[in-house]
Every structure is written in structure tokens, then in C-alpha cells.
Chain A
Amino acid sequence: MSCTLGEVKNRADFIIYWGGNPAECHPRHFTRYTLTQKGKFLPRGRKDRTMVLVDIRETMSAKAADIFLQVRPGKDFEMLTILRALVKNQKVRAEAAAETGLTLEQLQDLVNRMKAAKFGVLFFGMGLSMTRGKHMNSAAALTLAAELNAFTKFVAMPMRGHGNVTGADVVMRYTLSYPFGINMSRGYPRFNPGEYSTVDLLVRGDTDATIVIGADPGATMPKPAIEHLKRTPTIVLDPKVTHTSKLSRVHFTTAATGISAPGTAYRMDEVPLPLRPALKSPYLTDEEVLKRIITALQKKPAWQPAVKGGEQIA
């Protein structure tokens, strides 16, 4: 259940941010898309909307909220499950509610408000999707929103960060069917998160070369993963010489996305936007460097997927 951000701007009278701190991480989210904008059907803007923040601590974003609900760390899944039960009018014990750090009354009040909304939206951040429960939490949030549609209009959307990571998701889905973590070693796409995800591959030492584009894992990844990047040949494309560049065999300096490199980027709601670079870079773009590497590879004898008894292994 999702929508583009303009739907939120024009219609959402009830907004929940869960496990995110937009005031500091997505500073214009409130003013451009959600909270303070006057919408087509919400002429008074902020006055026509109610905002709830659910987080483990009182961040800067709490100041913007009408209601702040402090969930106990690691209890997001429990809280989502109780909300789902309350949406369906099932009985919940007060002690079970108390485990989340909130009272049953608080949770019931939230459910009443969700059901009474004309158009509700639940934005969930990394505080939900990257903590205990991980994708189980995201799934529970999406299910809660889906189930609320029996009563009113309700959507849910992840608060994605990191520049054009949404674009990567979009491009991989349309070229290879899957959003990330795709293994092409058999000549066609295979997907198995946990097996083909970068940190798992690096920590297990499964890879024997890495090319890094528009990221700096040398600064952010767990130590064993970084050690493996050092141990095996690594190639980096980045506008700056990064931590990862310093442990790499090859570094390419490239133009900066949207500043000196043109192209397309996707917003977190998968709306594509054309980049308008203001500077002319003395460097090649990522796209140009990758094209050159591809041309160099095409001059070598073609690699073919493993063949067994004349049949390609499927």
C-alpha cells in the first residue's frame, strides 16, 4: 500500500513517522511533502493534520509531533502486532501492551485515530527496518496499513535515505527482476538475501574482487568485511579519494552525481527526476568509466555460464 508523496500532501490528515528522525535526516520532508503543506483537500495545512512519532527516544522530530510514543527498544514488532490485533477488535492484555513501554490506552487511542483518519500514512525509517526484527518489522508495518484499508484509506512507505538508492532498486528490478543482492554467476539472475548480500559475501570471503560505485563501505561496514575488501582487489569509482579508495587497487575519480554529472535519480516514492548539474567536471562520469570498462571486457574472450553435458545449468 503506497502512494507518491503528492498524495500525502493533498490528502493525508493523519501521519505517523515510525523509527525515523525526519527533522534531522530528511529536513524538508515535513515542509515539502507532509506536515506543513497546504493540500488540495487540507486547505489549512498543518492544522488539518495530526502527526504521531513512534521512536525509542525523543528526537528533534518529536517537537513537530502532536503525539510522541516512546516504544521500548527492540519492541517495535510487538507494538505493531498489538496494533494489528486492536484494529481487528481482538482482546489484548494490559501486561502485553506494557511490554512495549506504552499503555493499552495509548495504543487503543492510536488505533482509534488511525481508523478515524480519512487518509492515513505510515512512514517507517531505519529505526524500524534496521533494528531487531528487521524485514519482519517492515512487513508488519505494511500489513498493518493494508488491514486498515478495511476501515479507511491507509498507506505505508519506507523513508529511504542515501541519494539514489531508490533508483538502484528500480533499475535492478526492471533489468533483473529483483531489487538487490543478485547473483549472475550462472548467467541469469538469482536472488537470495542473506546469501548474496554484500556483508554476508564479504564476511564469508566468497568474493575475489569488488567494484564499488557511489558508496564508501570502507567507512561504514563491519571490520571483517573491510578486511576482505583489503585482501582482495577492489576498484572504486568516487568523486573523492575515500576510505575505500585507500584500501583499493584501483581508484577512478568521477564527476559528482547531480552536481557535475547529468542523468536521472529517483525519489523515495519512485518518482524519477532529471538531474541538472551546475558544474562542468574535469572528470569522467561513473557511466562513462563503466562503459569503458565494459568495452575493455568485451574485447576479451566471452565468458559463458557453466555448461554441463551440453545443457546450461538452470
Chain B
Amino acid sequence: MLRITGGKVYDPKNGVRGEIRDVCIAGGKIVSDVPPHARTIDASGMIVFPGGVDVHTHVAGAALNFARGLIPEQHRKSRPIFHTPQCRAGLAGSTPTTFATGYVYAGMGWTTANEAAVPILSAKHTHEELADTPIIDKCCCVLMANNEIILDLLETAEFERAKQVAAWQVWAAKAYGVKAVNPGGVAGWKWGKDCKGLNEPVPGYKNVTPRSIIKALADIIDQLALPHPLHIHCNNLGAPGNYTTTLETMKALEGNRAHMAHLQYHSYGGDDWFTMKSASVPIAEYFNAHPNLTCDAGAVLFGDTVTITADGPWQHLLYELTGRKWGNLDVENETGCGVVPYVYKEKNLVNAIQWAVGLELLLLITDPWRVCLTTDHPNGATFWRYPEIVRLLMDREFRKEQLKHIPEKVLSRIVLPDLDREYTLSEIAIITSAGPARTLGLAQKGHLGIGADADVAVFNERKDAMEMFSYPRFVIKSGQLIIEEGELRNSIEGSQFASKPTYDSAIEDYLRPLFSQHYTMSFENYPVTEECVHGLNVHQCGSCTQPG
């Protein structure tokens, strides 16, 4: 039992904006009161936030682990996490080790993370890593927009069966949501091709187009009543002029719920790398007018990182541009992934535009509940650099200072210099916690109301937001004190959320023969069993609604 007293509480979901009040904790939950003998934390001069929720990050699984193997030279420069009796050893850096991931997230007051890209074939691997990722609660999105069994069904217009297969796959992967990456483009990449527009048939198909995949998956997810909407990484990621594809995708999603992942990478104007410019204004305008959509920023910060995405064709292009290392890993019938180490440079025209676009979107999108703070870790920057972005959002003068470092010719291609908005602490609490929790459909996360999970971060109130949010004084996870006086004192295990949509188990009889034809493992060994998922917490989805 615990009472946090004297702190300024920011709990946007419950309308609390910096009022001094007590937060009481018992049995891992927020409660209305605790007896006088409960331990009291004096939070005078501090601010109290609900624990951070990351809606889109890459912290576990085959692709990330492939990347770890590719960059030993970066690990050498990474921050070591020392072995102590409370704490397992590891390395932070651009691809933190499993244990380090848990400690570093908790160490900055973030307590829930959504691993955004899981192939079913290696979902068991992802769950093994998540089991070794301490403290934080986790969930993951299974990759579906290039799954050949689904695409084959869409080719022959068997929507109902595709829906059954999708539901079966979500549960087989013990996933929470569904992610679409470059719909059709990754399947095309397996022949060395890509999908640029939404209306061209996917290589190898006659009827299936990226548009038909997007629409079908969004319908499937809405009808299955999954708690998180379709999580979509649009076609044409990273390419100059791609904002038109993004607009088209958003238009195709009218009438559906959808979450636009790392929108920064999809908001570029211009015709080529030399004329590239920001297109955050038309994207934000459309987005602001369409409340069916949520997004995360996918912001970029300057420095070393490694880019990892299921978007194989984009990664090959990046390899040709950089001439650096390139790793690619295609997963049978389901997806692929590319890995390229990368440095975002201030003096590089393209990188400077990318940096600006991420911030512009965060500042131009008017409803903070619909935009989440992310860097698409580790693609735009590592997650432990979030406090830098918070400062950039809260401090206009600091932003102006930073703009001096980028090439002058960039200034006419971005709108960032014209934006005067400064985020308030309440708005920061929304984009880092309350909003992403709502977007994920995690009702017990992202707030401090009675009955919520007792995930709380307490920061010293300071003028410099970056300093303030880098080192919380106290972090409480599931009611347990994890960080005390800025030090990791205790490590606990987190839970994992999975969704169970309803499906007709007869679908297995349909899948089994297909499976032995196309896959190389036994159908029976393919699904992840419940025992394999550490701290499994199942969200039973409502009954499947029929198309109206």
C-alpha cells in the first residue's frame, strides 16, 4: 500500500490538470484511500503522471534480433547495464537487450509497450524475448497485409473466410492487434518488386491491390471487434512525394477505425531526393478532419541508429543510397524485413526535413488524444530519447535554437519555423500515456482513476523538460516501487496482453492442407501455446459483427 502525497497530478483522462492531490495504491491498483500506516511518498515539488504507454516500438523478435547481430560496432559504444543482485546485465544502445529494454523504459517512467511487428511463424521467438523483458507490460501486433493465405482469399473474393483466418491467426500468434506493412509491397518484394500506388495489382495477383487489402483488413478488424484498430504502415514509406499515397490510404479508410503508424515517414512532398519537402500540412489537415483515425509520430532525432522494418523494398533502396550494410530476412508466406544501420545527420537535407516533419505533425495535429509520441524505435531514434522530443514540443525557443543547426535551404521546405505552439504538461501526459492507452484500447492503462493499474511516474518539476522527463524520482509499476530516488531498486515481471477474437474452429480444417503445401513446419507446431506466453492476460473480443 502506498500514498503519493503533495504532487501535482496530471491525469487527463479524468480531467485532472496539475492539481495537488493524493494518489493511493493498493493491490496493484489505484484506490480511493489507504489506511494511515501505508507508506507515504512525499511528492512536493514533483509532478505525478500515469506510466508512459508506447503505441509503436520494436523491442523484441526475429527482426530486431537479426539487427542486433548486424551491428556489434554500435554495441561497443552502447551504455552498459551492469549486473547487480537486483538487475540483469545488458546493453542499452540502439537495439537494447531484453532486460535492458525493461529497465530503460521503466527508468524513464514508461510502463507499457506495444511491439509493432510480429510474424506468426516466429511469434514464439517474440514471446520468448518479451518474457525476458522485465517490469513493463507488453502487447504486440501480428503482421497480416502480405500474408499469402489472406491475399489468396482476397483474390477470389472470399472475405468471410479471410476474416476467419485472420481471427485464427491473431490468436495463433497470441497477438493483441493487427499491423499492415506496405500492403502487398512486401509480397511483391519477394520477386524483387514493390507496390507504389494503391490501385495497381500486387505482383503475382490479378485482383488484389494495396487498396483492397487495406479495406478488407480494416473491415475484418472492425468486425472482429479487436480493441486496437488496424495499425497501418502505408505504402511508399520514406519516398519523396509519398504524401499523396498516404492521403489516398486515409481516404480508403473512411468508415473504418485505423491507426496510422509513424506518420512522419509518410508525409513528404517533392518529386525526388533533391526537391523533397515537408507535406505535413495537407496530411495534418486531412487527419484533423477525420476522427476515425489515430496516429503516432515516428519522429526522427539526429544521431546513430539502426533501421528495421518489414518494408523490405524500402530497405534495399536505403542500402543503395547509403552503400552501408544491409540485412534482409524474408519470412515464408507472411512477411519480410530489412535492416540497415543509419545515421541521421543535421547537415543532410533529407534528414533535416525528416526531423522537422515529425515535430510538425505533433504540432499541427490539434487533438492530442489522436497523436502518440513515438520514434518508431529504433528507426527514427531510440526510445530512450523521447525526453528530447518532449522538450522540443514544450519549448519554442529551444526549437528555434535547433533550427539554426540545419541547412538554411531546408527552411523554405518545412513549416516548423512558423509553428509557435508549445505543449502543456497535460498535453504531454496525453501523447505519452492517456492517448496511446486509449488508442490501444487498454482501459486500465494511461490514467490514475480508481481501478486503473497502478503504473505511476513521479518527476521533479523542472524548467528543462528534457532533464525532467529523463530521470523520474519514483516509478511505480503494478503497485510496486521500482525506481526510488532515481535508482532501480526492484525488478518485477510484466504481463502480456493478447486478444481472442471469435472464430469457427473449422477454419483449421481449411488451413491444415494449405499449410503443409506452403509451409515447412507442422501445422500443429505453428501456433504459440498459452503456456509459452509469460503473464498472459487475454482480452476476449465481443461477438463478431456481420457486415451491415
**A/B contact in complex, CB under 8 angstroms:** yes
Interfacial residues, chain A to chain B (CB-CB below 8 A): 1-7, 9-11, 32-33, 40-41, 118-119, 146, 149-150, 152-153, 155, 169-170, 173-179, 184, 186-189, 191, 264, 266, 270-274, 302, 304-305, 312, 314
- A271 touching B521, Cβ below 8 Å: yes
Contact code string B84-110 (vs A, CB < 8 Å = 1, else 0): 110011110101011100000000000
- A187 touching B89, Cβ below 8 Å: yes
User: Which residues of A sit under 8 angstroms from B320, Cβ to Cβ?
Assistant: 150
Nearest A residue to B101 via CB reads A174
- B75 touching A174, Cβ below 8 Å: no
User: Which residues of B sit under 8 angstroms from A40, Cβ to Cβ?
Assistant: 148, 333, 517-518
**Which of the residues B75, B148, B517 comes within 8 Å of A191, measured between beta carbons?**
B75
Nearest A residue to B62 via CB reads A270
- A304 touching B521, Cβ below 8 Å: no
The 3 closest A-B pairs by CB, nearest first: A6-B332, A188-B80, A3-B330
**Which of the residues A41, A155, A304 comes within 8 Å of B84, measured between beta carbons?**
A304
**Which of the residues A155, A177, A264, A305 comes within 8 Å of B95, measured between beta carbons?**
A177
Per the bound structure, the CA–CA distance linking A72 and B69 in Å amounts to 32
User: Which residues of B sit under 8 angstroms from A264, Cβ to Cβ?
Assistant: 124, 128
- A174 touching B65, Cβ below 8 Å: yes
- A153 touching B190, Cβ below 8 Å: yes
CB distance from B451 to the nearest CB of A (A): 35
Chain B interfacial residues counted at CB < 8 A: 57
User: Which residues of A sit under 8 angstroms from B331, Cβ to Cβ?
Assistant: 3-4, 7
User: Which residues of B sit under 8 angstroms from A270, Cβ to Cβ?
Assistant: 62, 65-66, 122, 125
Per the bound structure, the CA–CA distance linking A136 and B329 in Å amounts to 21
Per the bound structure, the CA–CA distance linking A302 and B132 in Å amounts to 22
- B75 touching A10, Cβ below 8 Å: no
- A7 touching B89, Cβ below 8 Å: no
Per the bound structure, the CA–CA distance linking A3 and B76 in Å amounts to 27
Tell me if B546 is interfacial: C-beta within 8 Å of chain A: no
Per the bound structure, the CA–CA distance linking A13 and B357 in Å amounts to 43
- A314 touching B80, Cβ below 8 Å: yes
- B90 touching A175, Cβ below 8 Å: yes
CB distance from B71 to the nearest CB of A (A): 9
- B82 touching A271, Cβ below 8 Å: no
Tell me if B68 is interfacial: C-beta within 8 Å of chain A: yes
* Given the contacts A184-B83, A270-B122, A271-B122, A7 and B190 also touching, CB distance less than 8 Å: yes
CB distance from B525 to the nearest CB of A (A): 6
Tell me if B326 is interfacial: C-beta within 8 Å of chain A: yes
CB distance from A45 to the nearest CB of B (A): 12
Per the bound structure, the CA–CA distance linking A302 and B83 in Å amounts to 10
A-B contact pairs, 15 of them (CB 8 A): A2-B327, A3-B328, A3-B329, A6-B333, A6-B521, A119-B190, A146-B319, A174-B68, A175-B99, A177-B78, A184-B89, A188-B83, A189-B97, A270-B62, A305-B83
CB distance from B516 to the nearest CB of A (A): 11
Nearest A residue to B83 via CB reads A187
Interfacial residues, chain B to chain A (CB-CB below 8 A): 60, 62, 65-66, 68-69, 72, 75-76, 78, 80-85, 88-91, 93, 95, 97-99, 121-122, 124-125, 128-129, 132, 148, 190-192, 204, 316, 319-320, 326-333, 336, 517-521, 525, 529, 532
User: Which residues of B sit under 8 angstroms from A271, Cβ to Cβ?
Assistant: 121-122, 520-521
* Given the contacts A153-B190, A187-B83, A175 and B98 also touching, CB distance less than 8 Å: yes
Nearest A residue to B126 via CB reads A272
- A173 touching B525, Cβ below 8 Å: no
User: Which residues of A sit under 8 angstroms from B129, Cβ to Cβ?
Assistant: 174
User: Which residues of B sit under 8 angstroms from A305, Cβ to Cβ?
Assistant: 82-83
- A9 touching B520, Cβ below 8 Å: yes
User: Which residues of B sit under 8 angstroms from A119, Cβ to Cβ?
Assistant: 190-191
CB distance from A239 to the nearest CB of B (A): 23
Per the bound structure, the CA–CA distance linking A175 and B66 in Å amounts to 13
- A179 touching B91, Cβ below 8 Å: no
Interface of B is mostly: mixed
Q: A191-B72, A272-B128 are in contact. List 8 more A-B contacts (CB 8 A).
A: A40-B517, A174-B65, A174-B68, A188-B83, A271-B121, A273-B525, A274-B124, A274-B529
- B89 touching A2, Cβ below 8 Å: no
- B520 touching A11, Cβ below 8 Å: no
- A6 touching B518, Cβ below 8 Å: yes
Per the bound structure, the CA–CA distance linking A114 and B212 in Å amounts to 35
Per the bound structure, the CA–CA distance linking A9 and B519 in Å amounts to 8
- A11 touching B90, Cβ below 8 Å: no
State the total of A-B contacts with C-beta under 8 angstroms.
151
Per the bound structure, the CA–CA distance linking A239 and B327 in Å amounts to 38
Per the bound structure, the CA–CA distance linking A274 and B530 in Å amounts to 13
- B332 touching A10, Cβ below 8 Å: yes
**Which of the residues A9, A153, A174, A186 comes within 8 Å of B97, measured between beta carbons?**
A174
Nearest A residue to B60 via CB reads A174
- B327 touching A1, Cβ below 8 Å: yes
Per the bound structure, the CA–CA distance linking A179 and B331 in Å amounts to 21
- B125 touching A149, Cβ below 8 Å: no
User: Which residues of A sit under 8 angstroms from B93, Cβ to Cβ?
Assistant: 177
**Which of the residues B65, B81, B95, B328 comes within 8 Å of A188, measured between beta carbons?**
B81
Per the bound structure, the CA–CA distance linking A5 and B332 in Å amounts to 7
CB distance from B225 to the nearest CB of A (A): 30
Per the bound structure, the CA–CA distance linking A170 and B125 in Å amounts to 9
- A11 touching B328, Cβ below 8 Å: no
* Given the contacts A176-B97, A188-B80, A188-B83, A6 and B191 also touching, CB distance less than 8 Å: no
- B191 touching A153, Cβ below 8 Å: yes
User: Which residues of A sit under 8 angstroms from B85, Cβ to Cβ?
Assistant: 302
* Given the contacts A2-B329, A33-B520, A272-B128, A170 and B65 also touching, CB distance less than 8 Å: yes
CB distance from A185 to the nearest CB of B (A): 10
Per the bound structure, the CA–CA distance linking A302 and B85 in Å amounts to 7
CB distance from A91 to the nearest CB of B (A): 23
Nearest A residue to B89 via CB reads A188
- A5 touching B520, Cβ below 8 Å: yes
- B91 touching A189, Cβ below 8 Å: yes
User: Which residues of B sit under 8 angstroms from A314, Cβ to Cβ?
Assistant: 80
User: Which residues of A sit under 8 angstroms from B532, Cβ to Cβ?
Assistant: 274
User: Which residues of B sit under 8 angstroms from A11, Cβ to Cβ?
Assistant: 190-191
Per the bound structure, the CA–CA distance linking A5 and B97 in Å amounts to 27
CB distance from B204 to the nearest CB of A (A): 8
Nearest B residue to A154 via CB reads B192
CB distance from A153 to the nearest CB of B (A): 4
Per the bound structure, the CA–CA distance linking A176 and B529 in Å amounts to 26
Per the bound structure, the CA–CA distance linking A153 and B192 in Å amounts to 5
- B65 touching A173, Cβ below 8 Å: yes
- B121 touching A4, Cβ below 8 Å: yes
CB distance from A206 to the nearest CB of B (A): 20
Nearest B residue to A302 via CB reads B85
User: Which residues of B sit under 8 angstroms from A33, Cβ to Cβ?
Assistant: 520
Nearest A residue to B91 via CB reads A177
Per the bound structure, the CA–CA distance linking A186 and B90 in Å amounts to 11
- A175 touching B97, Cβ below 8 Å: yes
* Given the contacts A1-B327, A118-B191, A155-B330, A178 and B521 also touching, CB distance less than 8 Å: no
- B190 touching A272, Cβ below 8 Å: no
Per the bound structure, the CA–CA distance linking A272 and B326 in Å amounts to 24
- B192 touching A188, Cβ below 8 Å: no
User: Which residues of B sit under 8 angstroms from A7, Cβ to Cβ?
Assistant: 190, 330-332
* Given the contacts A6-B518, A6-B520, A9-B520, A176 and B89 also touching, CB distance less than 8 Å: yes
* Given the contacts A118-B191, A174-B98, A176-B89, A32 and B520 also touching, CB distance less than 8 Å: yes
Per the bound structure, the CA–CA distance linking A40 and B125 in Å amounts to 26
